[in-house]
Amino acid sequence: MIPHEIVTVMERRRLVAEVRTQTAVQALGVVDALAAAGITTIEVSLTIPGAPEIVSHLSTRTDVLVGAGAVLDANQAREVISCGARFISSPIFSPDLVPACRDANVACILGALTPSEIITAQRAGAEMVKLFPGEAFGGPAYVRALLRQLTHISLQVSGGFTPENLGEYLALPVRTLALGELLVPPQLIERGSWMAITNRARAFADFAANPHAFAARFLAMMGVAQRPNPAAMGGGQGMADPMPRMPAAAPAGAHRGDTGRHRSPDTEGWLR
């Protein structure tokens, strides 16, 4: 595939799994679990020990599209491209990645945050621009404002996702959403809970494919209480707004971590 075709496949699949683990064995287990759920665009972080070998192993599979993430310079890019990476993703604007990718017919994704950085990255030759970190300037509201002005950008959003705002991101005309710990929580990796990861990932895949049909089920699985529907409160039919615009309240018994985000008291019960 040429870079344009690679990006088209990524866009059709919508979700990109950013795989970051402590070991290569864990990474391969995560990829198997994700692929079983239908999430098959895999970004292997170069922060994993032995990342090039992981990419090489995965590149022989026909059921996943594998690329490398956290790539910071052309030497790193050339190494993982030689191992079979089909796309190169960087959290920073590193223009020397563009010729390295172009020479190998590999898609290049450059990091940016501000409007000027985004346009500069796209003009430099990036097939897609990674907005990172996505929550830095306001999350979905910032992305929405960007897209009103920069109508022709090819954008991927990475970072800052919550169960409450994922539906808002899916409603925006961005090409892909790159999910990390929200999709694959570290505690599930540490326990080797591969089936739990598959079940969780399948909920994400269903939600991405049809947000309105699966919103209520997805939010319930994530342990998020939904806002009452005003129409229903007036005596009409219906239960709740499946696409809440504001963060939902924590479920009864939920508690907060240091980040202030809601956590379900049973983070894995529904996954068993």
Q: Which is the catalytic residue, given 18, 127, 130, 164? A: 130
Could you confirm whether 130 is annotated as catalytic?
A: yes
Q: Considering the chain, what is the average pLDDT of its residues?
A: 87
Q: Which is the catalytic residue, given 18, 43, 127, 164? A: 43
Q: How far is CA 221 from the centre of its chain?
A: 18
Could you tell me the two tokens for 46?
């170069």
Continuous segment of H or E residues that includes residue 162: none
Could you tell me the two tokens for 159?
């970072």
**What is the Cα–Cα distance from 225 to 249, expressed in whole angstroms?**
6
Q: What pLDDT is stored for residue 227 in this prediction?
A: 63
On the question of pLDDT at 15 being above 60, the answer is yes
pLDDT digits (tens, 9 = 90+) for 25-34: 999 999 999 9
| Amino acid letter for position 72 | L
Cβ proximity of 101 and 124 under 8 Å: no
Q: Which fold has domain 3-214?
A: TIM Barrel (3.20.20)
Could you confirm whether 43 is annotated as catalytic?
A: yes
Round the CA-based radius of gyration of the chain to a whole number and report it.
Answer: 19
Q: What pLDDT is stored for residue 88 in this prediction?
A: 98
Residue 229: pLDDT band with limits 50, 70, 90: low
Sequence-ordered strand ranges (E) for 136-270:
155-158, 176-179, 255-256, 262-263
pTM of the model: 0.83
Rounded to 10°, the helix 51-58/24-37 angle is 30
- Cα-Cα end-to-end distance for the chain: 38
pLDDT digits (tens, 9 = 90+) for 145-164: 999 999 999 999 999 899 99
**What is the Cα–Cα distance from 153 to 112, expressed in whole angstroms?**
12
By CB atoms closer than 10 A (0-12, 13-18, 19+), residue 234 is exposed
On the question of pLDDT at 222 being above 70, the answer is yes
CA-based nearest residue to 178, from 85, 79, 44, 46: 44
